[in-house]
Chain A
């Protein structure tokens, strides 16, 4: 077999044809890229921060969506927003993290639904140099190496809830605790903080029931109903999740004891705000998820741009009562208008 000598190439003039071919291929690549981008929530991925909430379609996380969108657009990023349809679906959350890694997103904001199960997928994201901001509840990975925590200050939240109960009962009475979830560190911290504050500052208040969190407000209502039927002299209910607070409110209304038994809850839910306005819920200690979303997106942008970031940021919660429900800061964290944030 013979080989063409190099000197023959200029005579055959292939570069022009090859140039055309290359242009054709490049055009195809551009068309393909545009088509792919047109059909994607994430857009181009390199400028996209994936925000995977515990679930969507509720006020707690839509406010975080709004905050994240605002910060991301200021920094030149887009937000990809999705979550499982149930707030206990770990598998789906892992699937969404894997999709984000596959897309090579600019960053990942995650509100874990479980303490342990996300360790491997999050470590994989970090190993692939995708900055990660954990919000809502912690995971057992130390901050650093592209991982930051933007968390609700659950110690303060538990303390505020205990002091609210103490003030409402004037320092003595019987209470029941609902919505304890050892699977979520944030929830566990706020429960421990509540108990220690109550024990040290209000020793004459006794806790007569401890109940774990319920997946639905109907089940929470059933538990609260049983507690109320069994304890006719109950003075207050303190709840550590919005689902359990909503269940407690339903049971109180059903047994016509709303207003007689005090209700103090952690985390916001718009149905509970109606209870506050009607005097059936005394206090809600709300997570400032708007600020959490905003700070998380800012942290990802900072990591992307090589700016220094704080390993753990704690966002103080907000106490909502009938007196301050209409003030602007309260209404801002209760808004689900994620699109109006820009």
Chain B
């Protein structure tokens, strides 16, 4: 059949076009992440988090690695291909808090925000009970092993995790920085998840990860780990009350840090943050407040049940979002909130960050929510712009315009994907300080990470550009239809 004869059959052309489209759609659907080839390594040192997806937490680039600066339980940061099967992951991991865990997820799929909301395996360093743990997550958690390392796990120290997933065996070794400080864990699951991507996860403690590498692995990589790991207990053993009791390992009773925090908390008279605004501006007043950290950069903000305040430390302690802190400082009352200057303080304990208060832009524009963690919906007015303050997004809701500002330390690539006129939900700390607003808008929202902007809907299709395209295309299509109809008649 010649092409001319073939071309006379419009049905065949339509069929060929449909099959080509089908092949295209199938290719896109079946191989969504072909760019993730093994071996693979992260690009954090180059300042790039493209290809990573956050589920909770506050993730930002940090000294050649990535840091989750939040105490949220089960925050995840995932990348790679859902088609990866037998592989080994290497990473350096550091815990930020002293009552939680941080580690590596392997063979993950079907992820959502939530404590154990993914389908895969997790190997973690857990300092709440001093153990290296391995287990299965399937929108719920089954712990398979928890082994105590020789040297107690400590926050802010680097540990190297080497995790191997081959067939239905998952094994790992965690190495500290002292010789011989190596701990092995392993698990076997008869009907296992055979493929999935990798992820970073923390529970209550936050964490820092760097030097992440993924390579193909086989049984030769697995065997040395299995040789050292303790035997597998029966699945579910650690889920019973007795099993839970055995997980206490060498952590019984009250930790000295908590006892000290409770002693300090009980001994100091406290002011509520809301009262700081009412103090005299004529004389300096030193007060002690209690609150939870809602932002750490570009400035520290804390809030209690009723109000929020900015804090300027003399020597800033290591803080994460969610930390309950006790701070003493000199109060500078402001019209809508207050600043604590020359402050000193300490973390009392870690807690999951509080949810935001939902307000409208009109309410936020009154200043009533200054220095508080809020959430609001708006339309994107213009594409994100880099500035000295960070990446700035201009938003509009009703008659109010405001800014969303991402600190310069965070990766702005996700914000770059937001098209103008999209509807977004923004979470962050509301500020009316002109250092951020430049008095061009009533308030700004300081974002914790680029994941604080969630796209609710894309820009409307009927914008000017598309209307012009339709106006041009429509007569052409009509003429073409007329031509085909006339040809068919002949």
A2 to B488, CA, bound (A): 10
Shortest B126–chain A CB gap in Å is 13
Please, which residues of chain B bring their CB within 8 A of the CB of A115? none
Residue in B closest to A31 when the chains form the complex, CB atoms: B26
> Is the beta-carbon distance between A339 and B140 smaller than 8 angstroms?
yes
Q: Which of B115-123, B407-415, B461-469 contacts A (4 or more CB under 8 A)?
A: B115-123
Q: Is A65 an interface residue (CB 8 A)?
A: yes
Please, which residues of chain B bring their CB within 8 A of the CB of A40? 110
> Is the beta-carbon distance between A85 and B56 smaller than 8 angstroms?
yes
Shortest B375–chain A CB gap in Å is 7
Shortest A318–chain B CB gap in Å is 13
Please, which residues of chain A bring their CB within 8 A of the CB of B314? none
In the complex with contacts A17-B11, A334-B240, A254-B114 CB distance below 8 A: no
A86 partner, pick from B11, B140, B354, beta carbons under 8 A: B354
Shortest B21–chain A CB gap in Å is 9
B266 partner, pick from A18, A216, A225, A250, beta carbons under 8 A: A225
B105-138 vs A, CB cutoff 8 Å, 1 = contact: the mask equals 0000110111111010000000000000000001
A221 to B265, CA, bound (A): 11
Shortest A288–chain B CB gap in Å is 15
Please, which residues of chain A bring their CB within 8 A of the CB of B141? 57, 336
Shortest A217–chain B CB gap in Å is 9
In the complex with contacts A270-B244, A331-B241, A21-B18 CB distance below 8 A: yes
| Residue in B15, B139, B142, B351 whose Cβ sees the most chain A Cβ within 10 Å | B139
Q: Is B390 an interface residue (CB 8 A)?
A: no
> Is the beta-carbon distance between B29 and A89 smaller than 8 angstroms?
no
> Is the beta-carbon distance between A88 and B355 smaller than 8 angstroms?
yes
In the complex with contacts A24-B18, A25-B18, A218-B348, A339-B142 CB distance below 8 A: yes
A155 to B138, CA, bound (A): 36
Residue in B closest to A91 when the chains form the complex, CB atoms: B355
A268 to B488, CA, bound (A): 78
A265 to B297, CA, bound (A): 41
A335 to B74, CA, bound (A): 21
> Is the beta-carbon distance between A82 and B117 smaller than 8 angstroms?
yes
Please, which residues of chain B bring their CB within 8 A of the CB of A229? 266
In the complex with contacts A85-B115, A218-B258, A274-B351 CB distance below 8 A: no
Residue in A closest to B17 when the chains form the complex, CB atoms: A21
> Is the beta-carbon distance between A56 and B114 smaller than 8 angstroms?
yes
Please, which residues of chain B bring their CB within 8 A of the CB of A10? none
Please, which residues of chain B bring their CB within 8 A of the CB of A20? 15
Please, which residues of chain B bring their CB within 8 A of the CB of A221? 258, 262
A80 to B348, CA, bound (A): 36
> Is the beta-carbon distance between A21 and B236 smaller than 8 angstroms?
no
In the complex with contacts A32-B29, A85-B72, A218-B348, A337-B240 CB distance below 8 A: yes
A81 to B114, CA, bound (A): 10
Please, which residues of chain B bring their CB within 8 A of the CB of A309? none
A63-90 vs B, CB cutoff 8 Å, 1 = contact: the mask equals 0010000000000000011111110111
Shortest A268–chain B CB gap in Å is 9
In the complex with contacts A216-B349, A218-B349, A250-B254, A81-B265 CB distance below 8 A: no
Please, which residues of chain B bring their CB within 8 A of the CB of A335? 236, 239-241
Interface residues of B in 8-32 (CB under 8 A from A): 11-12, 14-15, 18-19, 22, 25-26, 29-30
Interface residues of A in 88-110 (CB under 8 A from B): 88-92
Q: Is A305 an interface residue (CB 8 A)?
A: no
Please, which residues of chain A bring their CB within 8 A of the CB of B258? 218, 221, 250
Q: Is A226 an interface residue (CB 8 A)?
A: yes
> Is the beta-carbon distance between B112 and A41 smaller than 8 angstroms?
yes
Please, which residues of chain B bring their CB within 8 A of the CB of A167? none
Interface residues of A in 199-234 (CB under 8 A from B): 215-216, 218-219, 221-222, 225-226, 229
Please, which residues of chain B bring their CB within 8 A of the CB of A325? 241
Please, which residues of chain B bring their CB within 8 A of the CB of A32? 25, 29
> Is the beta-carbon distance between A91 and B358 smaller than 8 angstroms?
yes
A116 to B259, CA, bound (A): 37
Residue in A closest to B117 when the chains form the complex, CB atoms: A82
> Is the beta-carbon distance between B348 and A41 smaller than 8 angstroms?
no
Please, which residues of chain A bring their CB within 8 A of the CB of B349? 216, 218
Q: Is B356 an interface residue (CB 8 A)?
A: yes
Please, which residues of chain A bring their CB within 8 A of the CB of B29? 31-32, 35
Q: Is B261 an interface residue (CB 8 A)?
A: yes
Q: Is B92 an interface residue (CB 8 A)?
A: no
A222 to B259, CA, bound (A): 10
A317-342 vs B, CB cutoff 8 Å, 1 = contact: the mask equals 00000000100000100111111100
Q: Is A39 an interface residue (CB 8 A)?
A: yes
> Is the beta-carbon distance between A82 and B139 smaller than 8 angstroms?
yes
B254 partner, pick from A65, A253, A338, beta carbons under 8 A: A253
In the complex with contacts A41-B112, A57-B74, A86-B12 CB distance below 8 A: no
A238 to B351, CA, bound (A): 24
Please, which residues of chain B bring their CB within 8 A of the CB of A254? 254, 259, 262
> Is the beta-carbon distance between A57 and B262 smaller than 8 angstroms?
no
A7 to B236, CA, bound (A): 71
A215 to B112, CA, bound (A): 24
> Is the beta-carbon distance between B354 and A91 smaller than 8 angstroms?
no
> Is the beta-carbon distance between B110 and A81 smaller than 8 angstroms?
no
In the complex with contacts A221-B262, A253-B253, A334-B355 CB distance below 8 A: no
Residue in B closest to A99 when the chains form the complex, CB atoms: B112
A275-308 vs B, CB cutoff 8 Å, 1 = contact: the mask equals 0010000000000000000000000000000000
B346-384 vs A, CB cutoff 8 Å, 1 = contact: the mask equals 001101111110100000000000000001000000000
Shortest B92–chain A CB gap in Å is 26
Q: Is B459 an interface residue (CB 8 A)?
A: no
> Is the beta-carbon distance between B115 and A339 smaller than 8 angstroms?
no
Please, which residues of chain A bring their CB within 8 A of the CB of B485? 1
Q: Is B452 an interface residue (CB 8 A)?
A: no
Q: Is A28 an interface residue (CB 8 A)?
A: yes
> Is the beta-carbon distance between A218 and B138 smaller than 8 angstroms?
no
Q: Is B286 an interface residue (CB 8 A)?
A: no
Shortest B121–chain A CB gap in Å is 14
A41 partner, pick from B18, B25, B117, B261, beta carbons under 8 A: B117
Q: Is B235 an interface residue (CB 8 A)?
A: yes
Please, which residues of chain B bring their CB within 8 A of the CB of A65? 140
Shortest A83–chain B CB gap in Å is 7
> Is the beta-carbon distance between A57 and B115 smaller than 8 angstroms?
yes
B15 partner, pick from A1, A17, A39, A86, beta carbons under 8 A: A17
A338 to B119, CA, bound (A): 15
> Is the beta-carbon distance between B14 and A21 smaller than 8 angstroms?
yes
A221 to B11, CA, bound (A): 76
Residue in A closest to B247 when the chains form the complex, CB atoms: A270
> Is the beta-carbon distance between B241 and A270 smaller than 8 angstroms?
yes
In the complex with contacts A250-B258, A338-B140, A82-B354 CB distance below 8 A: no
Q: Is A140 an interface residue (CB 8 A)?
A: no
Q: Apart from A222-B262, A222-B265, A222-B266, what are 18 other A-B pairs with CB-CB below 8 Å?
A: A31-B29, A35-B29, A40-B110, A41-B117, A57-B116, A57-B141, A85-B74, A85-B114, A86-B352, A216-B324, A219-B324, A221-B258, A221-B262, A253-B254, A335-B241, A337-B236, A339-B140, A340-B236
User: 3 nearest interchain CB pairs?
Assistant: A337-B239, A337-B236, A57-B115
Q: Can you list 13 A-B pairs, Cβ within 8 angstroms, ordered by A?
A: A24-B18, A25-B22, A31-B26, A41-B119, A56-B117, A81-B139, A82-B117, A85-B115, A86-B353, A86-B354, A335-B239, A339-B142, A339-B235
